[in-house]
Structure 1
């Protein structure tokens, strides 16, 4: 594979916090209210064609997370589209795998870039950015005319969840561009050739794991052992499926005992059994690219991931592999949410810095990204869906995207999400460490959940950490 195992792009992956959540940026940055859109540049007349007042003679600095989607989509799709309208704006394109390491000093120093794809394993803490008033209020973007049709507002091109999940302190400040659809991924060819059926119940899933294990052809299951957040995703989704969406809402809201409910105990015990019996040998020492590549080499049948997977593995996937995805099976026979329930939420999070030199151009760049052409071209290039409604209409899409699209269509309104891992960096770090121990047998299900509850309680009782509510 030409790219080395990298820190892949997704909202799920944040990794270890490099700084405390509270006051992460305030220590160096000058406290100030977020500026109005016109305060960082000379006033430019606004119009339907230029709704934010972009100055055609001021540069625009863009930083892209160079992970699973690469950076070509920005260089070859989004930036040329923006330049077609603002030829005088010099675009300063940059890319990195280490967003926090490279850009946090820029924020602290008061000279941040305009547009940041704040993604990857080490993205900047959104809670800290919000607490320090570093993110531009993007509400004017929602109310602006869409790039495609002046009679349609940008907000009408987006699902409401994009707006809900992008809210911090009552303001829309984070634009999730990709519609991440999570599930269990497999090769449709392998399942067809072996007459393995998609499991609809957990008993069927365990029976399938046993069948695959006894076949000797490959291991039943793996996950990114070095990044256990890949595994707490299906665990949390299962908890919500068993106990209802309120399971995740209560965890997000730091409610007493939210982690130690019966639904979460059942989910944690179920996945601990998979860890004890059905993991590919060596899983705990492998990262996501290594485990995904093992699947491409037919060494393992199933793994948890999201709809970025197909593009991320495009250089190692056999031509006839045919990615597919299925949802968490029914668990108890009386789950509160039906079969087909999915964890799906906007990811690949873009922000505009409120203290940058040209935030108007930053918002206009996002408006261009949200055009049907930009979103459709993006989907065709990187084999995943954006949050822009109808952007893939009339386009050929790959097997994995087709499978994920069908799954989300079948799910209808039965979708769930969680936000604690973005709101509270310390809780995310605890979740990563504890889930790894659960899957390797170092913690029982009860010990795992008690550890998570203890950390959640510590954060709840720490007055220096800003709290968020769903």
Structure 2
């Protein structure tokens, strides 16, 4: 993906940052506030129930102890939990009750429970009101998943759970050198559109920026909002698009520098060029009224053929299933190439393991929580998830033989076309304060007349502030 060669000092700094990124969140006086938010970080004897380890019970689950799981009710829905994973767990441990609940506001529902050290066993931490995962890890509230990944797969003979996963999955959920989070859904991000709308108008997905803006003009002429997203809670869709363009212009190391809080990483020429291009798109082809809308409201307008392109991940098709008209035919296009000298091809994609699941270290059934994840990571569990959510998982080959939906078929094709030119970043999970700032800066750029310089300066100031906390 890049021809850049790291010097020994760069490698050292980068490895330290990646290994201790979560520590950087807490090496400040504000860390004292953390215990009030998510519970103390002191080591305490575990009171979690355990059972006897065996070939049939490799994680030593207490087979008659209840396990509590909380699932985020968002784009993926909850049926994959209620109809696939919970029944799988119950079949294995029929005397164990699975206490299940769902929420659309994870932090609102669960922050008090973590503060009182009475958390559920397994949590799907997602949505616009997710908990700060880095702070949870550093506060000692998240269980190390090493034994889960070393355990045998539930239904893939001869392999450990870790060996069944797409390369990079475990690393994506690693903090301080240990795996604490399972990123389960393998998500393809890009520009989503209606295949029917394009077919009816004789349009094709653009691969160059000139083709992109020409198509947006054609949409505008037909009274369609050519490009939009929801400013109220979906700005991260758009900043992801901006940084995808930056990576295409300057190579994936542009994103690595941002991940590692390197000096002036946000002021890189590639980031400025990308912000300039997307700021122009917002000004010319967006809809300022969408600043105050939620994601489903703008997505509904797309289903009504009022919005042309919508930036999102491959959960979109499932999230809109109730409102999508027959024949709409969800499709996804890679972000078009920006310049003739881009370092990555136009087919390059932001594609990565996402949708965080973790086990609470102070839950009543820690090993049961890990066992629940083992069922999610079985081939049957992953296949059932894909069937119900129209989203891939990180379990290699689990979608083989399935009849895929139009959107997922398109995402698979885009992923194949990208080849090795797919990339991702992790700063948004490591540093929630930067995520919050970038959402606001993105809305300013896209909806409120902001400029590329303001965007880059604002984000660099926030990154510098985070780096100073980290380096103390």
**TM (normalized to structure 1)?**
0.91
- Partner-residue secondary structure (3-state), 2:266: coil
Measured after TM superposition, the shift of residue 321 of structure 1 is 0.4
- Please say if residues 283 and 449 of structure 2, whose CA atoms lie closer than 8 Å, have aligned partners that are also in contact: no
* 1:218 and 2:228 matched: no
Query: 2:423 aligns to what?
Result: 416
| 8 Å contact kept, 1:180–1:306 | yes
Quote the RMSD (CA, aligned, Å). 1.7
**Cα distance, 1:23 vs structure 2:** 4.8
Q: Aligned with 1:160: secondary structure?
A: coil
Distance 1:41 1:262 in 2: 51
Shift of 1:26: 2.1
Q: CA shift at 1:42, angstroms?
A: 5.0
Give, in whole Å, the separation in 1 of the partners of 2:238 and 2:41: 38
Contact 1:340 1:414 in 2 (8 A): yes
Q: Does 1:323 align with 2:330?
A: yes
Output the CA distance in 2 between the equivalents of 1:186 and 1:299.
11
Residue 69 of structure 1: CA displacement? 1.9
* SS class of match (1:462): helix
Q: Is residue 277 of structure 2 the alignment partner of residue 270 of structure 1? A: yes
Deviation string, structure 1 residues 65-97 (Cα, Å, up to 9, x no partner): 111222221111100000101011111111111
The corresponding residue for 2:36 is 27
Out of 350, 360, 368, the position equivalent to 1:353 is 360
Contact persistence 1:34–1:135 (CA under 8 A): no
Counterpart CA distance in 1 for 2:232 and 2:434 is 17
Residues 296-333 of structure 1, C-alpha deviations (whole Å, 9 max, x = no match): 00111111011000000001111100000000111111
Q: Secondary structure at the match of 2:455?
A: helix
Matches within 5 A, 1:63-78: 63-78=70-85
Q: Does 1:448 align with 2:455?
A: yes
Q: Give the deviation of 1:217 after TM superposition.
A: 4.1
- Please state whether the residue corresponding to 1:196 is helix, strand or coil: coil
2:18 corresponds to which residue?
none
Task: Give the distance between the partners of 2:43 and 2:212, measured in 1 at CA.
Answer: 52
In structure 2, the partner of 1:8 is none
Helix, strand or coil for the counterpart of 2:393?
A: coil
Quick check: 267-276 or 419-428, which moved more? Answer: 419-428
TM-superposed deviation, 1:34: 7.5
**TM-score normalised by the chain length of structure 2:** 0.91
Query: 1:25 touches 1:107 (CA, 8 Å); kept in 2?
Result: no
Give per-residue Cα distances to partners, 1:444-470, cap 9 Å, x unaligned. Answer: 1111110110011011112599xxxxx
Partner of 1:110: 117
Secondary structure class of the residue paired with 2:301: helix
Secondary structure at the aligned position of 2:93 is classed as coil
Instruction: For residue 150 of structure 1, report the CA deviation from its aligned partner.
Output: 4.1
1:158-173 equivalence runs, <5 A: 158-173=165-180
- The correspondence for 1:297, drawn from 299, 304, 324, is 304
Deviation at 1:140, TM superposition (A): 0.8
